[in-house]
Chains A and B, each alone.
Chain A
Amino acid sequence: MEGSSSEEGEDVNWTFYRDREEWADLKPVPQDDGPHPVVAIAYSEKFRDVFDYFRGVLKVHELSERALDLTRDAVELNPGNYTVWQYRRQILKHLDKDLKEEMAFVAEMISAFPKNYQVWHHRQVLVSWLNDASDELQLTAKMLALDAKNYHAWQHRQWAIRTFNLFQNELEFIEKLLNDDIRNNSAWNQRYFVINQTTEFAPEVIEKEIAYVLSKIKIATKNESSWNYLRGIVLHSESGLRKPSVIDFCDELYNSGNRSACLLSYLVDAALEQAEYGVVKENSLLSIDKALELCDNLANEFDVCRRGYWNYISGCLRVHMN
């Protein structure tokens, strides 16, 4: 579950809202715990106090500076509470606050709670209001440096890039990430995203991408992500999986003794494609017999836990024998 806060209560300088003179006029609203009888709740005094007053301002719909401060305490205690965030935005609008300040605050919150949906959504709303995404690449790069697969960060980055046309240096950024971790599936996905949205899959782009991904496969031949990317790219070429340069690469890898399940499964799928759509360039590796042998190897030796799948594919191949 996302959005848990740190244990609270260590702050010796904290004054409860109930003890603050400037809040004396507001009636706090205690939590209604729903279906079970209300019992004395022993969880943090601070938490209860803040949310009692939050419910209080919500009830009288107070849109003030002090209510804004209160929502800050509330989201810091529980950033997953979407109602507090929404109310905070209402106050920001109503008071016509300096949104740059709020951007700094939400950046802090993102650092503290990088996998929380609400903090990222708040950021997106602010960027839209400001119509300025100049800090978004840097912010997301910082978060991805801490966790290269943070789905929220990637989603926000894609949104900013697409909305504000920030594609320019993105391939460079991705190459850096892939140099750090060749198995970063998010980075491979981002590569596809950028090409799909910019140059698209013109023949020369396909060639360039194939050369790039093959060079990465050579380094890690069992890397599912790069093989999937290769498949994604060759499907844009006329010869599909049977693309001669790729089959030659596989042939060489296979003959060097490599038996990566990714390599074998690529060859099996290419053989199946050949059986269905015809030969592009003769290669004995793509015969039905060879493919059946590879399925057998996969089911019994290299990828035993997916035996059910390989048996199914064998059945598909056999259909083409008749």
Chain B
Amino acid sequence: MAYSEKVMDHFANPRNVGEMEDFSGVGEVGNPKCGDIMRMYIKVEGDIITDVSFMTFGCGAAIATSSMATELIKGKPISEALKLTNKAVMEALDGLPPVKVHCSVLAEQAIKAAVSDYYKRQGIDPEPIVGAIPACEECGCEI
């Protein structure tokens, strides 16, 4: 298993890492038993995600996909962020080893979880817009 240069760059120099104080929405996916948790904070102004940050417990790929996902949605409208697929995150990182694909799925879900939280805080039911966020998809472990 070898990581691409981009994965190593985002792992070694993660973008948008850390807690956010004045967030509009925060979402957390994954679980400690599986060995990865991603927490994504978003700040929304109008319909635009003006700021985003993450905190991740996990492997190199988990940290790199979190970092790349934040870069891909920063400054974008919510509708666009919701269209971000795990595949797009992987492609932006020049690929991931097959066993690490689930990390990119987690990144996609973390964005959706943060947006859902944002809508809930606005008194809007997120389900019709964001859809259901499957618990621990791809991982298949028994918790």
Partners in one complex: no
